[in-house]
Structure 1
Amino acid sequence: MAQLIKLQDYVSRYAQDIYLYPSRFVRLKKKQWEGVKEKWENGPVQLEEINGYGHSEEQSNTILQKIKSIVRNSETPQSGPKQDSPIGLDDDQETMIDDDEIEMLNNIQTIEGLKQHFLDQLLPFQLKWASSTLTEKSFIAKEFTNDPTLKFLLQRFPDTFLILYKPIFLLKKAPVEAELILVTPGAAICISFLEAEENAVFVGSKERFWIKKTKNKETKILNPLIALNRTDKIVKTLFEMYGVELPVQKLLLSRNGFIDYPLAPYGVQFIEKRNFDEWFSALRGMKSPLKHMQLKAAQVLLQYCQTTSIRRLEWESSQRQGDQN
């Protein structure tokens, strides 16, 4: 599962320590997947007991708590718990899966179904890390909680892929909206999605507008390369400023349509319905671990992203109590 390190202009804990949180996420995910899988494999008999067959309600509740403890269990944090945490919660002790979801596991029949259920339940956790820190939080727009493109990206790529989704950069005190940036161990890929009706054809040119053709209709759309080139320029400029040696790629992606551009400009890759599966399989099959230069690249990008957030109420209360003492 790819990691969402920046969502629009929301506060992100990855920006606090990009060298810590990606590996922490992988560790938490692995530990809690093992707990969910163990619970699922051993679940049916225990669930019968929970439902009251031959056991008292008190005994059933005890069994339920034992099952829940499997999922809550995670590795001991390397640096120990935060002593000054106003909310009393260390990241390594967070639970990725809600307790309410545990009882649903017995309805899942296959391991593939279990994997998909687990990934679905990780999405709220991903959004949490991409919109809150110990002291601050941002309010997530509803469009992101059910965004099919974001879900596709997070669930279908490896853990070592870091995603900046519709980030807003603050350059010379001016906010600049960017396209998707996928930071992999081998490259930073700037991606523009070009998707509409099934089998739509996008006729490209150097003009400001392209033509979108469907069955019996033609409409104009803004040239998607404008935003893609702007994103590419931002990333390359920042990388040059900080000595980030990571290739930058430009990619125009249409999963359900076709791109018709006979004299395509140099330096941009078109991925559409005819070659999407091949491209996707190659990228998804990348087995390289997180790399130092990749994390440095992500750190540089996060450093220039705009952040809009408020202080957590828990933190404000803690500070007031400290002042009174």
Structure 2
Amino acid sequence: MAQIIKIQDCISRYEQDPYHYMNQYIRLKKQRWQLLTEMAREKEERLFHNGGTASEDTDSPKKKKFSLKRKKETSDINNGIEADDQWFNGLEEDVDERLFARIPADRKELASFFKEHLYQFQLKWASSTISDISSLSREIKNDKILQILAQQLPDSYFIMYHPVLQVNQAAVELSIMILTPLEIYCISFLEGDKESAFIGSKDRFWKEKTVRGREKAVLNPSTELLRTGSILSRLLKGSEIELPVRKLIISRTSYIDYPEPPYGIEIYDRRQWHEWLARQQKNFAPIKNQELKAAKILLSYGVSESTRREEWLD
């Protein structure tokens, strides 16, 4: 699963110490996956021995072995320290029967359960720190594109989802940026009606033609992409970072008819989307120093709107 390091103008833990959190994420993910696989194995054993019922005495030794050491939140806040396990609030307490009941015994289903569980905590990590918190809009919480990118791309990919950056004393919202070990993607997604067709042009607006013959006007995505690419190059200028910047227009659901797109812009519609995603999933390159450096520089320009947590107001 990719790491969400910035969402719009939300405060992010990565902004505080990107190197620490990027490495911590991978370590915690491995720990929690091991924990869940043990719990699934225990549940499978219960179902076998209890004739399809997973209930068991909550004080049994088997249950206690899943208990995690819980650091008191009050103590951490008073000391200004964030416990590693606080990212996984739902798993840091003793495992109760309600959580145990939700965990699928089937290994195939367990992976999906884990990804969803992990994604929800990624949203928290990308919108809060130990002292401050930002409000995620309903649109972001239900955003399928963000969820797909986070759950389908490798751990070594860093997602900046429409980040708001401070550029020349102005706050500017950019396209989706994905930092990888080998390159940086600037992406504009076109989400249209199923099997509709986007007709590309150099005009300010494109047309979307639906299968029922209706037409809609949509903003030309090339404009935002070219601006994002230009700003990205400017912010990284002089940093000795040599990651190629690629600009993509992607539609998962629709066709894109644009025979001659502007130079440097690649098109992937519903016919090529899965191929592009599959190529990214086969990228097993580890996190690179240049990628970390680029992320740190870009995050340093991040604009954050947040409020103080209640426990810090006294």
The TM-score, its normalising length taken from structure 2, stands at: 0.89
Query: What residue ranges of structure 1 are gaps of 5+ in the alignment?
Result: 53-58, 318-325
Q: CA deviation at 1:242?
A: 2.8
What is the match of residue 273 of structure 1?
Answer: 270
Does the 8 Å contact 2:249/2:266 carry over to 1? yes
The CA distance in 1 between the partners of 2:272 and 2:44, in whole Å, is 43
Does the 8 Å contact 1:199/1:256 carry over to 2? yes
The CA distance in 1 between the partners of 2:206 and 2:81, in whole Å, is 51
Q: CA deviation at 1:243?
A: 2.9
The CA distance in 1 between the partners of 2:110 and 2:3, in whole Å, is 20
Does the 8 Å contact 1:197/1:214 carry over to 2? yes
Matched residue type, 2:33: W
1:28 aligns with 2:20: no
Q: CA deviation at 1:85?
A: 3.4
1:197 aligns with 2:190: no
Distance 1:91 1:6, change over 3 A: farther
2:206 match: secondary structure: strand
The TM-score, its normalising length taken from structure 1, stands at: 0.86
What is the root-mean-square deviation of aligned Cα atoms in Å?
2.5
Matched residue type, 1:51: S
The CA distance in 2 between the partners of 1:84 and 1:61, in whole Å, is 28
Per-residue displacement from partner, 1:140-179 (whole Å, max 9, x unpaired)?
Answer: 2122222111111111011111001111111122111111
% identical aligned pairs: 37
What is the match of residue 14 of structure 1?
Answer: 14
Matched residue type, 1:310: T
Residue number among 78, 84, 87 corresponding to 1:86 in the alignment: 78
Distance 1:30 1:84, change over 3 A: closer
What is the match of residue 151 of structure 2?
Answer: 155
The CA distance in 1 between the partners of 2:43 and 2:294, in whole Å, is 43
Does the 8 Å contact 1:50/1:63 carry over to 2? no
Does the 8 Å contact 2:10/2:305 carry over to 1? yes
Q: CA deviation at 1:82?
A: 12
Residue number among 173, 176, 179 corresponding to 2:175 in the alignment: 179
Q: CA deviation at 1:50?
A: 7.0
Does the 8 Å contact 2:41/2:105 carry over to 1? no
The CA distance in 2 between the partners of 1:252 and 1:235, in whole Å, is 17
What is the match of residue 321 of structure 1?
Answer: none
The CA distance in 2 between the partners of 1:237 and 1:25, in whole Å, is 29
Residue number among 37, 43, 55 corresponding to 1:51 in the alignment: 55
Q: CA deviation at 1:292?
A: 0.8
What is the match of residue 295 of structure 1?
Answer: 292
Matched residue type, 1:90: E
Distance 1:245 1:82, change over 3 A: farther
Q: CA deviation at 1:274?
A: 1.5
What is the match of residue 320 of structure 1?
Answer: none
Query: What residue ranges of structure 2 are gaps of 5+ in the alignment?
Result: none
What is the match of residue 170 of structure 1?
Answer: 166
